[in-house]
């Protein structure tokens, strides 16, 4: 199972490199959805199955809005893809940078820290995220209200930034 966790982490790094090196908003939004899926797989591997499901569903809803904005604001009808030369050069540079940083910190990582949460206790009755779900429902109401307020404020900021001089949804008539 440790090999699967290393594979998921490798896919996460490759997805982040693909997002960072691509100038096109179409492929960057697609890469963000893939990285969100891999990140939720990483959470499942560490025992947070309910948290990863909720996070993935909420994140996919947000990414649908972001993809709609990026598709509407894209200037190029035929953007550069992941196979084009400038994007491949940037990807190689980012992969080399990540490899150098990983090589510097390689001695501090231990393989036993990537053991799954459910494999640590043989006589465990509950999954790893059940206590967090109960805590979220009992004391997390204020965080839900604050998060909704922040999302509403972010929506108005994005609408204000993308409206232009005389057009948009918040214009004065």
Look over the chain and give the mean of its residue pLDDT values, rounded to a whole number.
75
Quick count: other Cβ atoms within 10 Å of Cβ 96?
10
* pLDDT value for 96: 92
Q: What is the DSSP letter of 106?
A: G
Contact 105, 57 (CB under 8 A): no
pLDDT at 71 over 60: yes
Average pLDDT over residues 156-165: 69
Residues 48-61 pLDDT 10s: 777 788 888 887 77
Average pLDDT over residues 23-52: 80
Contact 118, 49 (CB under 8 A): no
Strand, helix or coil for residue 127: coil
- The more confident residue out of 163 and 4 is 4
Residues 102-159 pLDDT 10s: 888 777 666 555 555 555 555 555 565 666 667 767 787 788 788 889 888 888 877 7
Q: Kindly report the pTM of this predicted structure.
A: 0.62
**Phi, psi dihedral angles at 77 (to 5 degrees):** -75, -30
Tokens of 147: 């998060």
């Amino acid at each position: 199972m440790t090999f699967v966790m290393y594979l998921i982490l490798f896919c996460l790094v490759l997805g982040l490199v693909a997002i960072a090196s691509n100038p096109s908003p179409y492929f960057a939004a697609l890469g963000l959805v893939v990285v969100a899926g891999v990140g939720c797989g990483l959470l499942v591997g560490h025992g947070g199955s309910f948290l990863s499901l909720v996070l993935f569903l909420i994140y996919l809803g947000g990414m649908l809005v972001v993809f709609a904005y990026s598709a509407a604001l894209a200037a190029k009808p035929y953007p550069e893809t992941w196979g084009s030369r400038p994007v491949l050069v940037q990807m190689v540079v980012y992969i080399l940078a990540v490899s150098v940083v990983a090589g510097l910190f390689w001695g501090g990582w231990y393989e036993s820290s990537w053991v799954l949460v459910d494999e640590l206790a043989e006589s465990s009755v509950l999954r790893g995220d059940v206590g967090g779900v109960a805590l979220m429902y009992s004391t997390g109401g204020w965080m839900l209200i604050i998060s909704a307020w922040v999302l509403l404020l972010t929506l108005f900021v994005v609408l204000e930034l993308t409206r232009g001089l005389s057009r948009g949804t918040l214009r004065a008539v």
